[in-house]
A and B are shown apart, each in its own frame.
Chain A
Amino acid sequence: MSYTKLTREQIAQRIALDIPEGAYVNLGIGMPTLVGNYLPRDREILLHSENGILGMGPAPAAGQADMDLINAGKEPVTLLTGGAYFHHTDSFAMMRGGHLDICVMGAFQVSADGDLANWHTGAKDAIPAVGGAMDLAVGAKNVWVMMEHLTKNGESKIVGQCTYPLTGIGVVKRIYTDLAVIEVTARGLVTGRLVPGLSFEELKRLTGVPLLPSGDRAAA
């Protein structure tokens, strides 16, 4: 049977629908930022930005950009009514002190034990930059990863052991890919919500590390 991979937007949509009412959430730079576009309108979800914003709103209307009000990706944003500003150390206390319910981050690799590699390729000529990735990785109550299942060369980004430099050890709780949703548990990688047409056996073959079926495979 053939299957179609989810687009980035479809993965973002899936994640957004899994975020509950009242959650305090940090969306990482890059692909995870898309999640903000799909948050259900009937839920109050408070977005945190590392540079001192809680209750961050969407991008401003054309011509309304205020460069004193930017997100972690340095793009102009808005503040929801009821939102707050605070300084950097307070902002990172929220992140490091376990106050955020969920953070969504991109990744180069996630290991079967939930190790996360997402800050540096380790290439000799690469200039390393870490930002707030390590703080979020250890600090958020739930670290969710959003990434493509396979690299461009078809290698699994879910691995036995990360070969890229680590961001955090045993920190990832859930992985959303363009093929499935995978929970990192003490039992192993519990895998469900496979895209239609993809068999569990085929996903196991592509992933190359042991996967357990979640039993709710039909619930896409």
Chain B
Amino acid sequence: MLNKIVDTLQAALADVRDGSTVLIGGFGGAGVPADLVDALIAQGAKDLTIVNNNAGNAEFGVAALLKAGRVRKIVCSYPRQTDSHVFDALYRAGKVELELVPQGTLSERMRAAGAGIGAFFTPTGYGTELANGKETRVIGGRGCVLEHALSGDVALIKAERGDRWGNLTYRKSARNFGPTMASAAKCTIAQVYETVELGGLDPECIVTPGIYVTRVVKVRRSPQRAQKAA
């Protein structure tokens, strides 16, 4: 019997290794797999490369991971926010490396990884600092930049519901990077608020089919946390 549901966050993260590239879902506070990130801090893996849209809010989620000193490098589009003081301090002290990527390119690079595409040409960033050192080509009269696929050893994502085959649905704009990251990592771990029997998710509405998901772990909903994430 295929059962991807694991009982504990510890079991879900047991094999994350030092030096891993970890894709972490979320945009601002929405869709952040905060329970998995907290469990990753407890698990102890270090020297991580983190891929996330932001570089953490306040001292929660990715910011907590940064504060714990586990992150060597962050790949993101928007590290600077009103409450990104943990990242700001580490960056200014030269303690964390930053690879800044336009948001759509970040997402598309992960999509490419999940779809078996090695690299692609995009007009985004052409002629800007973020194209420095990258191969360019004029295609159909437009300047384009070569961008390489971005894959993860692990993806940590937050979904709303999951079943034992790993099928997932999301809630509102908390979906954001989840489906793409799920496809782009060797091992995708989803935290969900509800697990359902097979057939409990409408097959017409499953957003992430289970083939992309390695493990599902149920967590408790914490309204307080959602508020903090804001």
Contacts and interface: CB of A to CB of B under 8 A. Distances in A.
Contacts of B124: 96, 134-135, 137-139
Interface in A65-84: 65-70, 74, 76, 79
Contacts of A125: 92
Given A51-B173, A127-B79, A168-B128, A132 B180 contact: no
A129 B28 contact: no
Interface residues of B, number: 52
Nearest 5 pairs of A and B residues by beta carbon = A92-B104, A74-B28, A135-B104, A129-B80, A134-B102
A89 B100 CA distance: 17
B78 A129 contact: yes
**Residue among A51, A79, A128, A139 with max Cβ neighbours from chain B (10 Å):** A51
Contacts of B209: none
A33 to B, nearest CB: 15
Contacts of A88: 27, 53, 103, 107, 175-177, 180
Interface of A: 49-53, 65-70, 74, 76, 79, 85-89, 91-92, 95-96, 120, 125, 127-135, 137-139, 165-169
Interface of B: 27-31, 53, 77-81, 87-88, 91-92, 98, 100-105, 107-108, 110-111, 122-130, 143, 170-180, 207, 226-227, 229-230
18 contacts: A68-B172, A68-B173, A70-B30, A70-B230, A74-B28, A85-B175, A86-B175, A87-B207, A88-B107, A88-B176, A88-B177, A89-B180, A128-B98, A130-B100, A131-B77, A133-B102, A134-B128, A135-B124
Given A129-B81, A166-B128, 20 more contacts: A51-B27, A51-B28, A52-B176, A66-B172, A68-B30, A69-B172, A85-B175, A87-B170, A87-B176, A87-B180, A89-B108, A96-B108, A96-B124, A127-B79, A127-B87, A127-B88, A138-B123, A167-B128, A168-B126, A169-B143
